[in-house]
Amino acid sequence: MTPVTETAAALKLTERINRIEPSATMAVVAEADKLRQAGVDVVDLSVGEPHFSTPQHIKDAAIAAINNNFTRYTAVGGTAELKDAITHRHAQDFGSAYKREEATASTGGKHVLFNAIQVLVDHGDEVILPVPYWVSFKDIVRYAGGNCVLLDSHEDQGFRVTAKMIERLVTPRTKMIILNSPSNPTGAVMSPEDLTEVARFAAERGIWVMSDETYVYLNYSGREFSLGSLQEHRERIIVVGSLSKTYAMTGWRMGFALAPSAVIGAMQKLQSQSTSNPTSIVQKAAVAALKGPQSCVSEMRTEYIHLRDHMLAGLRAIPGVKVTTPGGAFYVYPNISAFLGHGVNSPAEFSRKLLHEAHVATVPGEGFGTDEHIRISYATSQNELDRGLERLRGFLASV
Ligand SMILES: Cc1ncc(COP(=O)(O)O)c(C=O)c1O
């Protein structure tokens, strides 16, 4: 057996696996878990998943699938029934007109992103990535051999990203722009106008826009918008969707892409040599989610808005904490720079101290590319938010 002390070099792991880091969010979860196992009462504001249970009609569809022996391999990118449910839902909600061959399903949105980047980003290609970014984008691009070109956005402008800002970073090697609206970690929402302008600009230059719309239904601006509705620019757009947050289905692992059929075909080819189809049972559950009543989605959205407002009011009552109002997702991204420099020199140190001394788990901003913020998730009960805020107040008074 290989001794566990052997170094990565001695193991001769590939150069490409050594290019990437484990997810920063996962690291926090592991540390908080360790404390919990030691009997510590941790208030967990680090998790990126809904606190709701999966709606009953979706669970019933999965149980029926098992009982009906829908338990065999399916087509790699999902059944025709699932692909049609995906395209119909999108057409109904966003006025798009994707065909069955322009849709594919994978084991979670993350898997979709991985496949799309693997088939489009080559060695030396540049990918424009707005900062703050969701942790995995950078590592998935690096794994494919691409280089991320980081685009700074500014807190005092609500982390706005525009085509003009992107244009300055374009080179002959630019292959792709990654957008994520509503954003993880800031909750910032791009306006339909700004999104349209980026799509138009990218289409003109032959640059791909990968639009991660994992939180598209958790948009509180009243202007829900998918880049996939811009049919005139669709030849260069990849929409990445996920059922994880929309229907409280994180553990089920179901994501999809809407893109030109040649890209979908390449993604399915890659998937055919790795995981094959997403779980057959989950596909039936996904059909029930997409075709069933959507009231569960709006009910959860209403609750998130309430929790966001509660969290913002609580944070803004703490002297020194600066926070922009997020227009979507379920995160706030407060600036904690007023508390740095007195023995606590970085968000990572801040988060660690907050976890170990006040037992509140958050995610430090470094993993998202910034050095003055922490990410707080408000996808939990109001009671947990209150306990977390109380502890945070006490902790900050002592820093
Ligand atoms: C921005 C963003 N994209 C994609 C994902 C992946 O979600 P899943 O793989 O559960 O569909 C997440 C999950 O946290 C996310 O925050």
Computed over every residue of the chain, the mean pLDDT equals 95
Q: Which residues of 32-67 are buried (b: 16+ CB within 10 A; e: fewer)?
A: beeeeeeeeebbbbbbbebbeebbeebeebbeebee
Q: Which of 114, 184, 190, 252 to mutate to test the pocket of ligand 1 (most atoms within 8 A of CB)?
A: 184
Nearest by Cα to 257 from 274, 233, 273, 234: 234
With a cut of 60, say whether residue 5 has pLDDT above it.
no
Q: Which pLDDT belongs to residue 22?
A: 79
**29: confidence class by pLDDT, cuts 50, 70, 90:** confident
Q: Is 108 in the pocket of ligand 1 (CB under 6 A)?
A: yes
Q: Which of 106, 129, 133, 134 to mutate to test the pocket of ligand 1 (most atoms within 8 A of CB)?
A: 134
Going by alpha carbons, the residue nearest to atom 2 of ligand 1 is 214
Spacing, Cα 49 to ligand 1 middle (Å) = 9
Locate the ligand 1 atom nearest the alpha carbon of residue 254 and give its number: 11
Q: Which pLDDT belongs to residue 8?
A: 65
Q: Which pLDDT belongs to residue 2?
A: 45
Helices of type H across 206-294: 261-272, 280-291
Q: Which pLDDT belongs to residue 1?
A: 42
Helix (H, G, I), strand (E, B) or coil at 13: coil
* Burial class for 342, CB neighbours closer than 10 Å (0-12, 13-18, 19+): exposed
pLDDT digits (tens, 9 = 90+) for 206-247: 999 999 999 999 999 888 999 999 989 999 999 999 999 999
| Average pLDDT rounded to a whole number, residues 111-118 | 98
pLDDT digits (tens, 9 = 90+) for 278-323: 999 999 999 999 999 999 999 999 999 999 999 999 999 999 999 9
Spacing, Cα 109 to ligand 1 middle (Å) = 6
- Element (DSSP H or E) covering residue 57: helix 56-67
Rounded Cα distance between 177 and 169, Å, is: 10
pLDDT exceeding 70 applies to what percent of the chain?
98
Going by alpha carbons, the residue nearest to atom 7 of ligand 1 is 109
* Burial class for 250, CB neighbours closer than 10 Å (0-12, 13-18, 19+): middle
318, two tokens: 């703490």
With a cut of 80, say whether residue 25 has pLDDT above it.
no
Going by alpha carbons, the residue nearest to atom 16 of ligand 1 is 184
Largest interatomic CA distance in the chain: 62
With a cut of 90, say whether residue 190 has pLDDT above it.
yes
Spacing, Cα 342 to ligand 1 middle (Å) = 35
Spacing, Cα 6 to ligand 1 middle (Å) = 33
Torsion, Cα 275 280 281 282, to 10 degrees, reads 60
Q: Which pLDDT belongs to residue 6?
A: 65
- Element (DSSP H or E) covering residue 151: strand 147-152
56, two tokens: 């009953």
pLDDT digits (tens, 9 = 90+) for 319-362: 999 999 999 999 999 999 999 997 899 999 999 999 999 999 99
Q: Which pLDDT belongs to residue 27?
A: 76
